[in-house]
Structure 1
């Protein structure tokens, strides 16, 4: 636990007896850098300690900036749903994200966002998911070569390194069809991964003049250019072959906004495609790496999941109708997303003055819904640090605050690919367990890596034993 986080009044008194319009309690940091050294040293444990000492709402001193941390489901409801019009995606973080994905759904605002959402959301409804399921399963099988080679050689495999190959293949197949080469997939994946890693640093460096050398900026620009070259080429190929198939790009090319009669421009298609890349490639592989790490640390749950997969599928290839028959696989993915949400905070900027829990939030204030902390809030989760997929039975879910679990955001801005990502996670776990008996590698340690997404550090090392006849 971090001592002396609060400057001034004892934290619980300050947070629990806030007079209307009062200033939130604040962390106490160092001159110029605030609490950044604590964050770098203790990672997200620092945020858990700060909430415990300062209460559910407090200010984080970051030296050159200040951030109001929001840690309760009612805060998420206020900022992301009830008063969402007052909280926009502004500031250095979002400008850094826009430098890569442009005005895709995650970053666009106002009429543009509404128009794009109207055109894209129907493509993720149940009938479309059913149509994409076979493409997804084929991509999963094609992307498992690294797992297969390690199992055949009897050597350990780092799942954190191999899973992105699968999720990249899935998003490329479902977005652009199955004609993408492995070389193209690897090139896009490498560029995306670096660009995503750079975003936090890029946000911190945005205050510097462009002529000042910034570490990594040139490589980020090269990565963004490489992504554009691939994506615009894919778009041109689809425009030259209209009606080619059921991939998302073909569908979006043909989609017309019912209210305006307009179709998407190449730039809009590019922005949406890159947005879907990031959402479907990075966050899903991160969540599944944590899921496998948690499963091998809990062999009883791993055995239960293997039994579910055997009873539901045997050795046959799964289809869309099988997805509801894998409830434990879904719960494992959800519990991994609770404990280690890839998007571990949701930043917004207040447009006008506001008040939350009696505390004054001036216009221009940057606030952050701390998803990682909210998912571990002791008022809403019993033994919050424990891995327990049983929390996600329908009975338990009904008993919780509806916003105690928000890995995909909430409200109108909730990720349109939520059901796609959950289905993908279920099917990847199922295909792995159909083929292999999985166990941990003794002596290997998995830690938390504090980056743009909540990755592992040290990898997730597994031993895979091929199952006879599979």
Structure 2
């Protein structure tokens, strides 16, 4: 640990971290294995660490108290940071990236769509999309592997369109591919410190520009369709969906409306699709858990689709979802920038510093989780006392910027897994390694091909 003497002669403790001589290794990990970089740093240097890489220094937050300080107690001192800043080139100043008064207005506008009664009313649409997924997968029984990440993306886009946008997104598979290109470029710019110009005719940059144009066309088409519906229904206030509310609030200004819709498309499908993909992989690896989950689904649902009241009755399925979110939180990193000098966990953090709160390492912290690498849904049994700090588990973030769609996403995951496991059995391709790819979300690298079998 290093100490600095400030202007007031007060000693400032600098967080521990890898030595400068480790820079080549750190750079390599930053490009090729960011999870290993965060995990090894947290394991060796503790709850607050400083990773110096070239001209940059990342302040890694891996402790619940330190995370609470950044995300809740002193959240006003921290704006969105590395990765999300680069993503602004596509999603603009939407709810995910905006700050201050603009963010507060956006949050207040979209919050009503996620109230309890609205979520309950959307349960039927979510269940129908899950049932449609099962019907599509049945057609592949006895055939070759199905790319399940793509199927999960189609499902979550279908749910998003029906529940929030009053639009059919089921045939817009290109949205998922476009956002992959956006995430790839955003992460590339983050790790290269934006030193490679986006206008260069490199394959990655060209793919990004095509994706940006495609997303803009999709969003503009959604806006036009929403405006036409509003006129037919007698005005924007007649619509109960988020799109109608956004059009009403935009007052003819398309720039902010486009940003909000692009953000909603990204955040509304990507995180849940990732969670469902990891759930299918883990259930394939743990057949005992899958059998118990299937038995619960049969007992609670019989042969019908789930209803909102079933959400609390599918207890074990909910436990499975929580454990999947622990091991593979879709938002694996929460990047921030310090606006002013601060102290985190007793260590000095200067103004302008890049601070990253890491749910991925937090959820595997040996001080708060027993055998943290093991998949064990029993950790979340309702009758098991919770002794861990609140911020030791934060799959949806924390503080004022806690994910507004967490309840809808959880219901979507629980219903989909219950129906899938009741009706089908999915197995991975033998010999294929399933590897995590930490981009803006924690994805399965290269997709998740699985073979479809009858449940019995």
TM-score, normalization by structure 2 = 0.89
Secondary structure at the counterpart of residue 21 of structure 1: strand
**Which residue in 1 is equivalent to 2:422?**
434
**Which residue in 1 is equivalent to 2:42?**
51
CA distance in structure 2 between the aligned counterparts of 1:298 and 1:211, rounded to whole angstroms: 46
Indicate yes or no: 2:185 matched with 1:198: yes
1:250 to 220, 244, 248: 244
1:31 positional shift? 8.0
For the Cα contact (< 8 Å) 1:29–1:35, is it kept in 2? no
Q: 1:224 to 1:446 in 2, by over 3 A?
A: same
Q: Any residues of structure 2 matched to 1:140-159 within 5 Å, and which?
A: 140-144=130-134, 147-151=137-141, 153-159=142-148
1:116 positional shift? 1.1
**Which residue in 2 is equivalent to 1:21?**
12
1:56-77 per-residue CA deviation (whole Å, 9 max, x = no partner) reads: 2111122241101110001110
1:400 positional shift? 1.8
1:427-448 per-residue CA deviation (whole Å, 9 max, x = no partner) reads: 1112212321344443332122
1:20 positional shift? 5.3
1:397-455 per-residue CA deviation (whole Å, 9 max, x = no partner) reads: 63221111111111110110000110110111122123213444433321222333222
Tell me which moved more, 281-290 or 33-42: 33-42
**Which residue in 2 is equivalent to 1:65?**
56
1:249-285 per-residue CA deviation (whole Å, 9 max, x = no partner) reads: 234445x6xxxxx868433332222212111211111
1:286 positional shift? 1.0
1:143 positional shift? 4.2
**Which residue in 1 is equivalent to 2:306?**
318
**Which residue in 2 is equivalent to 1:186?**
173
1:30 positional shift? 5.3
Q: Which runs of 5+ in 1 are unaligned?
A: 1-7, 10-18, 257-261
Q: Which has the higher contact order (CA 8 A, sep 6+)?
A: 2
Indicate yes or no: 2:405 matched with 1:417: yes
For the Cα contact (< 8 Å) 1:146–1:162, is it kept in 2? no
CA distance in structure 1 between the aligned counterparts of 2:174 and 2:38, rounded to whole angstroms: 36
Indicate yes or no: 2:79 matched with 1:88: yes
**Which residue in 1 is equivalent to 2:149?**
160
1:219-271 per-residue CA deviation (whole Å, 9 max, x = no partner) reads: 212211211111122112111212476543234445x6xxxxx8684333322
Indicate yes or no: 2:91 matched with 1:104: no
1:340-371 per-residue CA deviation (whole Å, 9 max, x = no partner) reads: 11211111111111112221111111111111
1:391 positional shift? 1.4
Secondary structure at the counterpart of residue 27 of structure 1: coil
For the Cα contact (< 8 Å) 2:332–2:441, is it kept in 1? yes
Q: 1:294 to 1:358 in 2, by over 3 A?
A: same
Secondary structure at the counterpart of residue 403 of structure 1: helix
Indicate yes or no: 2:370 matched with 1:379: no
CA distance in structure 2 between the aligned counterparts of 1:69 and 1:424, rounded to whole angstroms: 32
1:308 positional shift? 0.8
Q: 1:181 to 1:411 in 2, by over 3 A?
A: closer
Secondary structure at the counterpart of residue 419 of structure 1: helix
For the Cα contact (< 8 Å) 1:173–1:247, is it kept in 2? no
2:113 to 103, 117, 123: 123
CA distance in structure 1 between the aligned counterparts of 2:428 and 2:252, rounded to whole angstroms: 47
1:34 positional shift? 6.0
CA distance in structure 2 between the aligned counterparts of 1:332 and 1:263, rounded to whole angstroms: 44
CA distance in structure 2 between the aligned counterparts of 1:20 and 1:384, rounded to whole angstroms: 36
Q: Which runs of 5+ in 2 are unaligned?
A: 3-9
1:170 positional shift? 1.6
Secondary structure at the counterpart of residue 60 of structure 2: strand
CA distance in structure 2 between the aligned counterparts of 1:345 and 1:281, rounded to whole angstroms: 18
For the Cα contact (< 8 Å) 1:286–1:455, is it kept in 2? yes
CA distance in structure 2 between the aligned counterparts of 1:305 and 1:434, rounded to whole angstroms: 8
CA distance in structure 1 between the aligned counterparts of 2:178 and 2:68, rounded to whole angstroms: 35
Indicate yes or no: 2:256 matched with 1:268: yes
1:136 positional shift? 2.1
